[in-house]
Amino acid sequence: MRGWRKCGICLALALMMSLLVAGCGGKMEKIKEAMSLIEAMDYQGALAAFEEAAEKKEDSRLIARGMGIAYLGQAKYDEAVNCFLEALAGSNGLLQDVDYDLNYYLASAYAGAGKFEEAKEVYNSILALKPQEKEAYYLRGGVELELDQFNEAKADFDKAVSMDPKNYDRLFAIYEEFAHYGYKAAGQEYLQTALDNGAKTLSSFDKGRIYYYMEDYQQAYVELEDAKLDDKAESSLYLGKAYEATGDYNYACNVYRSYLDKHGDSAEMYNQLGICEIKRGNYEAALTAFTAGIALQDKEMLQVLSFNEIVAYEFLGNFQKSEELMKAYLRLYPTDEEALREQIFLSTRQGNQSSAE
């Protein structure tokens, strides 16, 4: 059995899901329907709707774009690349917003397919035409870390930070990128600089987050306890994580439950509560938390919660239920390699369980 999943979609696209149909001729009913299905994460249904849109001679470029997004949702990266290239080939030669949008998606598809050189080339092209694209510097930096190009990545991250120094969410994302590739100290330098430069202006919440990522949990407690008074989910979430990091799972769970008892509207909080309960060995409580989170139908958290629900059943020894849920999960996320490996494990345990009976 592998560990529970802590984060949601690994390849998050920071792009708008708008139809980009303004100014296009012709009717777009099927394209609109398909994009709505993508929003609902029904990628197979979306692809079928795009096929119908093609039959109705709706905008071919938007169809190719939409199909590429649907394939990305299914983690079928090569198919997505082909669709985005087709959509880009349909340009009239005049650069439009949709061309930049498509290039961001294309780079994401290349990266998902493990074609990092190609992804970097796409970001190079974007920045050659739009040198003020902060997101492109940040994303190119991540690709460069995959290519073991530390100096280039740091230069790009430096540029992204210098262009938007108070974007602390991006700052933490950069830290996590560095930490993931074994350069935690380099990432912490960014955090220390932000702390030094913003000593008098940073909010308690941002200070607390910085201390959390710098692993100074005592200071994180102080700042985040103060920030918790703002009654926002993120403040309680980071406070609980800080206590988890020091092994105080009881207090962490109390933090999560206190927020949920008052609000009950955070799928991410339910997920973290479930993870914390697993650490405490309270598998029934973990399952209850994951199930409550799923009921909120938060699109960004639904996949991770669904997977963690399966893991909770495994911890409870209910391999039949785990296998049943895994089959349903893989119908929605058929290319999740870790889930496919887990399915093999479940089929083995289910077989052993049947033999024992």
Tell me the torsion sign for CA atoms 182, 188, 190, 191.
positive
How many other C-beta atoms are found inside a 10 Å radius of the C-beta of residue 328? 10
pLDDT tens-place string over residues 9-38: 333 333 344 444 444 445 789 999 999 999
Q: Are 38 and 46 in contact (CB under 8 A)?
A: yes
DSSP string, 148-209: T-HHHHHHHHHHHHHHSTT-HHHHHHHHHHHHHTT-HHHHHHHHHHHHHHTTTT--HHHHHH
DSSP string, 62-108: HHHHHHHHHHHHTT-HHHHHHHHHHHHHT--SS--HHHHHHHHHHHH
**Domains in the chain, number:** 1
Q: pLDDT band for 339, please (50, 70, 90 cuts).
A: confident
> What's the confidence (pLDDT) of residue 52?
96
Q: Which residues contact 155 (CB under 8 A, 6 or more apart)?
A: 141
> What's the confidence (pLDDT) of residue 352?
52
> What's the confidence (pLDDT) of residue 72?
92
Q: Which residues contact 296 (CB under 8 A, 6 or more apart)?
A: 265, 266, 267, 270
pLDDT tens-place string over residues 213-243: 999 999 999 999 999 888 889 999 999 999 9
Q: Are 84 and 105 in contact (CB under 8 A)?
A: yes
Q: pLDDT band for 286, please (50, 70, 90 cuts).
A: very high
As a whole number of angstroms, the longest Cα–Cα distance in the chain is 69
Q: Per-residue pLDDT for 92 more than 80?
A: no
Rounded mean pLDDT of the chain?
88
Q: Is residue 32 part of a domain?
A: yes
pTM of the model: 0.82
Residue 40: domain span: 19-90+102-114
Q: Is residue 53 part of a domain?
A: yes
Does 324 or 348 have the greater pLDDT score? 324
Q: Are 77 and 113 in contact (CB under 8 A)?
A: yes
CATH of the domain at 53: 1.25.40.10
**Among 155, 146, 92, CA closest to 119:** 146
Q: pLDDT band for 146, please (50, 70, 90 cuts).
A: very high
> What's the confidence (pLDDT) of residue 193?
94
Q: Is residue 37 part of a domain?
A: yes
Q: Which residue has the tokens 């690994």?
A: 10
Q: pLDDT band for 264, please (50, 70, 90 cuts).
A: confident
Q: Is residue 263 part of a domain?
A: no
Q: Is residue 153 part of a domain?
A: no
pLDDT tens-place string over residues 30-70: 999 999 999 888 899 999 999 999 999 999 999 999 999 99
Q: Is residue 107 part of a domain?
A: yes
Q: Is residue 73 part of a domain?
A: yes
Q: Using the CB atoms, write b or e for 123-142: b if 16+ within 10 Å.
A: beebbeeeeebeebbbbbbb
Q: How far apart are CA 80 and CA 82, in angstroms?
A: 5
DSSP element (H, E) containing 143: helix 134-146
Q: Is residue 344 part of a domain?
A: no
Q: Per-residue pLDDT for 75 more than 90?
A: no
